[in-house]
Structure 1
Amino acid sequence: MTDIVVSSSRSPHSNTRRVADAIAEALNAQVVTPHELTQDMIDTADRVGFGSGIYWFGFDRQLGDAIDRFPAGSRDCFVFGTSGLPEPPFRRYTAQLGRRLEERGFRVVGTFICRGLDTWGPFGLIGGINKGRPSSADLEHARDFAASLMS
């Protein structure tokens, strides 16, 4: 069993939830919010996915709070997310979350990031950037990523 954790409550577009659902479909997994995650879910999962939209060059704080809420333990995990802009080389947020998870005893076995509709600040004035994202191709790549976790 794989549990997927998604923190998309701040996004009005459900970008990350759509990616989480695509990954969950491929893994036959359940999607939960950080608040719904329990120690029992972590203990019984083969893999746990941690994902959210990217806000100010980082994952949602609710996701980090959920990670820190549980005692350290050994479990495979993966990281996924959606972002309006590419991950900058000066702020590798996937690596930061990966290190945080490894400090808690998780083994990060993969990461997946794709573009999502972003209407924050000035982008909203022009109707947003990355309209139509995540696209059907992005969701197919998310399913492919999930399949790679199974091998």
Structure 2
Amino acid sequence: MMKIDIRYYTKSGHTEKLANAISEVINVPAKPISEKLDEDIDILFLGSSIYGNSIDPTLPKFFNDIDVNIGSIVSFSTAGVMESTYEQIVELANLYGISVDKREFHCRGEFAGINKGRPNSADVENIKRFVRDILD
């Protein structure tokens, strides 16, 4: 049986909303990256966001604290203006010898009055479909 886990970092709750949608699909609790991985896993759904043109500094610390085997990371993210965190996650994962799936999920998040209501119900349904496709 495949072992899957979900970790995310959020300041606004947008990435957490997506993590909880993933949780509904795979029936695994979504946890913040402050909760250390405690066993080897096949797939890690890792959520992040862009803050000031970059991922939050707590993400490198999360990677540094990994002491289990991870088969592959599937990145998901939100951002108000910037594109996804995918390239930054790949760079970080490469430093630790962890592969990142080429497929990613990204959607807009509400920021400073733009993208009102995002991620919205369509975004939530889209990430659920994305997760099902990953697992098929």
TM-score range normalised by the length of the shorter chain: 0.7 to 0.9
Residue in 2 that maps onto 1:123:
none
Matches within 5 A, 1:19-58: 19-38=18-37, 40-41=38-39, 43=40, 45-58=41-54
CA–CA separation in structure 2 for the residues paired with 1:104 and 1:73: 11
Larger radius of gyration: 1
Could you tell me the percent identity over the aligned residues?
32
Describe the shift of the 1:134–1:74 C-alpha distance in structure 2 as closer, same or farther (beyond 3 A): closer
Unpaired runs of 5+ in structure 1?
120-127
Residue in 2 that maps onto 1:144:
129
TM-score normalised to the size of structure 2? 0.87
RMSD of aligned residue pairs (Cα, Å): 1.8
Bigger helix fraction: 1
TM-score normalised to the size of structure 1? 0.79
Describe the shift of the 1:73–1:104 C-alpha distance in structure 2 as closer, same or farther (beyond 3 A): farther
Q: Which amino acid aligns with 1:75?
A: G
Identify the range of structure 1 (109-118 vs 72-81) with the bigger mean alpha-carbon deviation. 72-81
Aligned pair count reads 133
CA contact (8 A) 1:2 1:28 kept: no
CA contact (8 A) 2:36 2:65 kept: no
Say yes or no: does 1:104 pair with 2:96: yes
Unpaired runs of 5+ in structure 2?
none
